[in-house]
Amino acid sequence: MDKYYHTKESVEEYIKLARDHDGNQNIIRLKEFLPAGSDLLEIGSGPGTDWKILSESYHVVGSDFSKEFLKHLQAYFPDGEFADLDASTLDTDRTFDGIYSNKVLHHLEDEALEASIKRQFEILNPDGIVCHTFWRGEDSEIYNDLFVNYHTDAGIRTLFEDRFDPLLIRFYKEFEDGDSILYIGEKKKGQPS
């Protein structure tokens, strides 16, 4: 397992580095499709910056697979609800109206990402919405001891197409113009063939 998200020191470092970043520009887009008051699962909440913004509009369950991030989330947001979930298995018996992640699913290899998308379909209520961001590019690399899988818009479209209809796919800037992709999709009716 990648160590970076699992030690106190590196989690504190990440929280400092990410201090000036949030997903608000994408959360504004999500709100066009997911009504206020909906039940939302956030995958990989990390520092909890987006969890806090999302909580202004939704009933949000935050989650992460890192015990260190979960400790941080519970300490900073004592009234929040947080679950220990791995993005690839999403082992929960709850269901949600929406599932959100910001720069999390790029840590999954293709097969694990496919499994995650399948599981997201299963734990979403009818007409459920997914909203995820990815680093844009080709191939994959190990960066800071972490696996990073880059994606193109065509690749993302293909990954989701059996289970979700795209509502919005847009490029946006995290550090440089167009370095990131936002995907918002709606759960298809019926079961995938």
Ligand X SMILES: C[S@@+](CC[C@H](N)C(=O)[O-])C[C@H]1O[C@@H](n2cnc3c(N)ncnc32)[C@H](O)[C@@H]1O
**What is the pattern of x (binds ligand X, CB under 6 A) and - over residues 61-80?**
---xxx--x-----------
Contact track, ligand X, 44-63, x by CB under 6 A:
xxxx-xx-------------
Please select the residue that binds ligand X; options are 40, 104, 124, 159, rule is CB under 6 A: 104
Going by DSSP bridges, is the β-strand pair 96-101/124-135 parallel, antiparallel, or unpaired?
parallel
Number of residues that bind ligand X (CB under 6 A): 21
CA within 13 Å, CB half, 97: 14
Work out how close the CB of 69 gets to ligand X at its nearest, in angstroms, rounded to a whole number. 5
Contacts of 73 (CB under 8 A, 6+ apart): 45, 47, 48, 51, 62, 64, 80, 82
Q: What number of other Cβ atoms are within 10 A of residue 41's Cβ?
A: 27
> Would you count residue 180 as binding ligand X (CB under 6 A)?
no
Report the residue number, 8 or 189, with the smaller CB distance to ligand X: 8
* Cα 40 versus chain centre, distance: 11
Binds ligand X by CB under 6 A, chosen from 60, 87, 124, 129:
87
